[in-house]
């Protein structure tokens, strides 16, 4: 199994994709192109990553060279917090499509359940979390308003599938009460140090596919100085033992722990070697005991939390 079938559209979402956060603009087109060459079909972007144009350049080059067709690819993007109001959702999705140079997203997500004051893209793009004075300005747009506008993207053919990111179960339950189209995917931080089992069980019960971000835990946060000095998962004893027993790399073991349970992963990498290594996680199986031993590493270590930006944004409290 290398895909997960999404509710409503029955579209197949690849279980392994390439995460585009922090891929530097100058090398981004080449990275995307090389990933397509290596067999990647899903790309996880966002307005906030600031590299949608470069990602699209890589996609268009691969299509022009005959490596793939647009319909072979699964392109995900996300709506940023400053654009939650209904009058901005459509305009931003269109702007993001233009940057990518494509005419639909396979999946469009609400990036965070946090509405911030609008920032005109002509003034600053991506706008990030802060106003010009370095302060965070909240907006009063409800998730219902934003979700209704997301549903209109489906009606307009702009997004085939829609979903949410960084949402907890009680907010999802509320969304399900008014949704005309249920969210098909929840993307959350998920790794052996934060196994999110209750949320994964909740999503299973509702038929919502789960995508894990930051699968390697602290590794992706070292360059930002946000790793909380947590020990590397790659050198963890349990991960190492399973890697030795299966003759796979620690990275493959960490990714397989998710994909074998139907959880999609989007590891970020820029080297051909690691791109191939990460995609290769689908080619072996862990035993039930091995899966359990890795799940047992959970210490509820959350690295991506807007509370670090502003205490009013403690959305995981």
- The Cα–Cα gap between 284 and 252 comes to 9
Q: How far is CA 183 from CA 57, 135, 157, 208, 227, in A?
A: 29, 31, 16, 7, 30
Tell which one of 161, 165, 196, 260 touches ligand NAD (CB under 6 A). 165
Considering only residues 223-262, where is the footprint of ligand NAD by CB under 6 A?
234, 251
Is-contact 270 23, C-beta < 8 A?
A: yes
Catalytic residue among 33, 49, 193, 213: 49
- The Cα–Cα gap between 22 and 132 comes to 22
* Cβ nearer to ligand NAD, comparing 67 with 226: 226
The SS3 assignment for 59 reads helix
Residue 267 CB neighbour total at 10 angstroms: 26
Nearest residue to ligand NAD by CB is 19
- The Cα–Cα gap between 117 and 141 comes to 9
Tell which one of 277, 294, 297, 313 touches ligand NAD (CB under 6 A). 277
* Cβ nearer to ligand NAD, comparing 40 with 213: 213
Tell which one of 274, 276, 308, 310 touches ligand NAD (CB under 6 A). 274
The SS3 assignment for 207 reads coil
Tell which one of 216, 242, 286, 313 touches ligand NAD (CB under 6 A). 216
The minimum distance between CB 20 and ligand NAD, in angstroms, equals 5
191 labelled ligand-binding? no
- Tell the residue number behind the tokens 């080449």, with chain if given: 30
Point out which span in 30-38, 137-145, 272-280, 294-302 binds ligand NAD (CB under 6 A): 272-280
Task: Verify whether residue 40 is a known catalytic residue.
Answer: no
C-alpha count within 13 angstroms, C-beta hemisphere, residue 195? 17
Tell which one of 108, 167, 181, 213 touches ligand NAD (CB under 6 A). 213
* Cβ nearer to ligand NAD, comparing 57 with 192: 192
* Cβ nearer to ligand NAD, comparing 69 with 247: 247
Query: What are the b/e assignments for 246-260, b being 16+ CB within 10 Å?
Result: bebbbbbbbbbbbbb
Considering only residues 175-204, where is the footprint of ligand NAD by CB under 6 A?
187
- The Cα–Cα gap between 62 and 33 comes to 6
Considering only residues 32-51, where is the footprint of ligand NAD by CB under 6 A?
44
Peptide bond into 126 cis (omega under 30): yes
* Cβ nearer to ligand NAD, comparing 33 with 66: 33
Tell which one of 20, 29, 110, 208 touches ligand NAD (CB under 6 A). 20
- Tell the residue number behind the tokens 């994964």, with chain if given: 200
Tell which one of 34, 166, 196, 290 touches ligand NAD (CB under 6 A). 166
* Cβ nearer to ligand NAD, comparing 10 with 300: 300
- The Cα–Cα gap between 246 and 204 comes to 28
Active site residues: 49
Residue positions forming the annotated binding site for substrate: 111
**Given the rule CB under 6 A, which residues bind ligand NAD?**
19-22, 44, 111, 165-166, 187, 213-216, 219-220, 234, 251, 266-269, 274, 277-278, 304
């Amino acid at each position: 199994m290398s895909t997960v079938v999404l509710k409503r559209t029955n579209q197949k979402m690849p279980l392994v994709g390439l995460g585009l956060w922090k891929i530097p603009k100058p090398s981004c087109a080449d990275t995307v192109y090389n990933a397509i060459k290596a067999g990647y079909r899903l790309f996880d972007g966002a307005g906030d990553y600031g590299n949608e144009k470069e990602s699209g350049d890589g996609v268009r080059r691969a299509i022009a060279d005959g490596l793939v067709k647009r319909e072979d690819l699964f392109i995900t993007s996300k709506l940023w917090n400053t654009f939650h109001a209904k009058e901005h959702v459509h305009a931003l999705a269109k702007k993001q499509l233009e940057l990518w140079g494509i005419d639909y997203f396979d999946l469009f997500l609400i990036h965070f359940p946090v509405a911030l004051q609008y920032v005109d893209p002509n003034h600053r793009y991506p706008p990030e979390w802060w106003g010009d004075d370095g302060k965070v300005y909240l907006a009063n747009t409800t998730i219902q308003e934003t979700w209704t506008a997301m549903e209109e993207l489906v009606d307009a053919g702009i997004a085939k599938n829609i979903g949410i990111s960084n949402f907890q179960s009680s907010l999802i339950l509320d969304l399900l009460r008014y949704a005309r189209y249920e969210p098909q995917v929840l993307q959350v931080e998920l790794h052996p140090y934060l196994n999110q089992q209750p949320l994964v069980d909740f999503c299973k019960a509702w038929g919502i596919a789960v995508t894990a971000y930051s699968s390697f835990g602290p590794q992706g946060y070292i360059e930002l100085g946000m790793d909380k000095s947590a020990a590397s998962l790659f050198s963890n004893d349990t991960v190492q033992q399973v890697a030795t027993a299966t003759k796979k790399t620690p990275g493959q073991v960490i990714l397989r722990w998710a994909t074998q349970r139907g959880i999609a992963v989007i590891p970020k990498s820029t080297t051909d070697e690691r791109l191939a290594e990460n995609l290769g996680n689908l080619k072996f199986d862990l035993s039930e005991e091995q899966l359990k031993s890795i799940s047992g590493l959970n210490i509820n270590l959350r690295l991506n939390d807007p509370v670090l930006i502003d205490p009013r944004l403690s959305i995981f409290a």
